Amino acid sequence: MRTVGGVIRRRNDEAKGALIGYLPVGFPTLDESVEAAVALVEQGVDVLELGLPYSDPVMDGPVIQAATQQALANGFRLSDGFEAVRRITERVDAPVLIMTYWNPVVQYGVDRFADDLVAAGGAGLITPDLIPDEAAEWIAASERTGLDRVFLAAPSSSDARIRQAVDASRGFVYAVSTMGITGARSDVDEAARSLVARLADAGAPASCVGLGISTAKQVSEVLDYADGAIVGSALVNALATGGIRAAGELAAELARGARSE
């Protein structure tokens, strides 16, 4: 099992920081989503975030919603997520986190989900709609299995919520740069800088900024103050419009932002 924290620390020692790339499992097909994820790593993505398609994706913007709806229409099953993780980790040496809303995990069984993710070679979960004070079952399961757990913090989070996210997270805290849904934006919100500073003051293991990052320049700007930059919609759009090759080419360009001074 590959853990996230070590990779993020290493990339901050070797370069500006870590590049985290998101793709949904099963889009355009299961096989293509695996090949695209492998291509991202081969082109410089340090950590993979694989989204499980869900029928009520309240945090996702239109690009990701369209992709996940296609995956669901194609017959995506939760077991496909574990298969994708297994196939990816057999081929590339990068940590793979599952991004999932909490209801599918509960329906599957929290301990069963954790055990199957470990067996597939996964590193942990990002849980956007689960807050730490309602996460006792997942915290216990991740402690038992050694999985990383990534909670979210937003610019509007109170100091108490910031501390909860920091105390509960293992690997990194997901710093949401803007309020709202995912989607590439022309500028990354300045609020991210103050949020990362607040997380650092609270003792965060690492802070990675997501929502709205779409260019190498933005990756470089984010890594001036954060430990990692998370890119989702831009990569999904590249995959949707140009296929695996285009997604890999964008990953290579974004990776240059993680190396530039």
Six token digits for residue 39: 């291509």
Residue 209: φ, ψ to 5°: -100, 135
DSSP 19-56: EEEEEETTSS-HHHHHHHHHHHHHTT--EEEEEPP-S-
3-state SS class at 180: coil
CB half-sphere exposure, 211, CA atoms < 13 A: 21
- How many whole angstroms separate alpha carbon 191 and alpha carbon 60? 20
Q: Which of 35, 46, 49, 80 is catalytic?
A: 49
Q: Catalytic residue at 90?
A: no
Specify burial of residue 224 (Cβ count, 10 A radius: 0-12, 13-18, 19+).
exposed
Q: Which of 60, 116, 148, 221 is catalytic?
A: 60
Q: Catalytic residue at 190?
A: no
- Which active-site residues does the annotation give? 49, 60
